[in-house]
Amino acid sequence: MQFTWVYQKEHPQQVKYFLKEQGISKGLLAKIKFQGGEIKVNDQVENVLFSLTDNDKVTIVIPAEGEHETVLLDETPIDIVFEDEHVLVVNKPAGVSSIPAQYHPNGTMANRVKAYYKKQAYENQVIHVVTRLDRDTSGLMLFAKHGFAHAKLDTQLREKKFTKKYQALVSGKMNELQTHGRIELPIARDYTSLLKRTISPEGRAAETEYWLDQAFSDAALVDIQLHTGRTHQIRVHFAAIGCPLLGDDMYEGRMDLGIQRQALHCYDLRFYHPFTQELLEFKQPLAEDMAAVIKRFKD
């Protein structure tokens, strides 16, 4: 895989500093140098100390990544929302983890994506997860298809240029829900559990913004945008205001309204393409189980 830029500055600059401005890390430079890549200036191979002048053409050739040999293959088909040579957006079903764990090495989205890459005989088969979802959360997930794209997307995440929105079904103290509101409560580990989180003054700052979409007799559909990324943030915050997610038994959500997993779905994902800078936006309809609950409320 190769990338080309034209140097357009009045003053000379070494290649290594110019490439750093393009998002090339020291690690990627080392990979180019030692694993079969190339740096070219005006189609001639040069090193990182070469001094660029105005209108020089700079090309890097990045060696293929191969694959994660330890990631097992899961041939279950994936629901592809968008794909090009740099990014892959998929619709994750509920009940599937994002990445393997020590005691659950297979059956995750990473395993499924690897099998897909293998079947397509892609040059790069390392799995780069950019946005994860909890096991029982459905919706849009983003993968980078090579390390350079992953690095540039991670920069966007740090700079808060991503928009990721969710829809959730909640119940409980419905009078606590405003048409539009923010929940700003610090979240910490709950030391009575390996997984659970709790509200605590000693926790990390967390902010959840929401909009009331539809109100029913026993529940409500809310649109949600996270302004921080704490573990279980949406689930903990709505439980804290007395409106836990349906099906979320960990946080005392109701289990008698037709859904047996946390009723949470990532429906809107927006980010800038790592190389064209085009704003990409994807929307995914509610998962069938959540849609069925809403239909039941409306009937």
- 110, pLDDT greater than 90: yes
- The two beta strands, 138-144 and 128-131, are antiparallel
pLDDT 10s digits, 3-60? 999 999 999 999 999 999 999 988 899 989 899 999 999 999 999 999 999 999 999 9
- 215, pLDDT greater than 90: yes
Helix-helix angle 147-158:26-34, to 10 degrees: 180
pTM above 0.75, yes or no: yes
pLDDT value of position 262 = 97
pLDDT 10s digits, 48-83? 999 999 999 999 999 999 887 889 999 999 999 999
pLDDT 10s digits, 288-298? 999 999 999 98
Q: Is 252 helix (H, G, I), strand (E, B) or coil?
A: coil
pLDDT 10s digits, 170-204? 999 988 899 999 999 999 999 999 899 999 999 99
pLDDT value of position 66 = 84
Mean pLDDT of the chain, nearest integer: 95
Write out the catalytic residue numbers. Answer: 134
- Nearest in space to 172 (alpha carbons), one of 112, 237, 99: 237
Please tell me the distance from the alpha carbon of residue 70 to that of residue 102, in angstroms, as a whole number: 11
Domains in the chain, CATH or no CATH each: 2-61 (no CATH), 65-159 (3.30.2350.10), 164-266+292-298 (3.30.2350.10)
pLDDT value of position 250 = 96
Per-residue pLDDT band for 299 (boundaries 50, 70, 90) equals: confident
Contacts of residues 277-280 at CB distance under 8 Å and 24 or more positions apart, as own/partner, are 280/82, 280/87
